[in-house]
Amino acid sequence: MTTSNGVRAAATPPTSLGGAFSDVVNAALGVVAAKVDDWSNKLDDVAAGGSTARPDAVEKVADDVAEGGDAKQQAGVRGVQAGIEGSNPVWAAVKGAWAGSSTPVKVAIVAAGVVVLVLSPVLLVVLLVTVPIVVVVSESRSAKK
């Protein structure tokens, strides 16, 4: 018996846990193989060149792959998509990582940016005061020798 997605279903229920696990794994692999074939066919159409819907096909495949992914997966997919479309893959990967990040991570990144912006003038003043002091002390020590 074959289901609508081409996966072969067991005619009788499995009698063991191993058989049930095997059926689940086979079904999952069948679904993944069907999706990969679909994406491959779409990318073949894009590679053929004559399609006017080229960016749409790449975007559709990228959206399918990135759907529900974490920051790393989003970054990778969006970087590859930008590379295929001829735009900057680094910036697209950064935007993809941001899109795939959770809210607490986004809040932490914004908070860190604010802290850096607030502290950078203070650190600059400390650096400008410390460097001349270190130079004067090192010169006075070398003069004593």
Angle between helices 17-48 and 54-66 (to 10 degrees): 160
Mean pLDDT confidence for 76-87: 83
| Nearest-angstrom CA–CA distance, 61 and 58 | 5
Q: What is the mean pLDDT of residues 10-21?
A: 66
pTM of the model: 0.44
Triad 24, 66, 3: Cα angle to 5°: 30
Element at 132 (helix H, strand E): helix 103-144
* pLDDT digits 0-9 by tens, 24-33: 777 777 777 7
* Residue 41: predicted pLDDT: 73
Helix (H) or strand (E) holding 98: helix 89-100
Q: Which of 72, 101, 141, 32 is nearest to 24 (CA)?
A: 32
Measure the CA–CA gap between 73 and 65, rounded to whole angstroms.
9
* pLDDT digit string, tens, across residues 93-119: 888 888 888 888 889 989 998 888 888
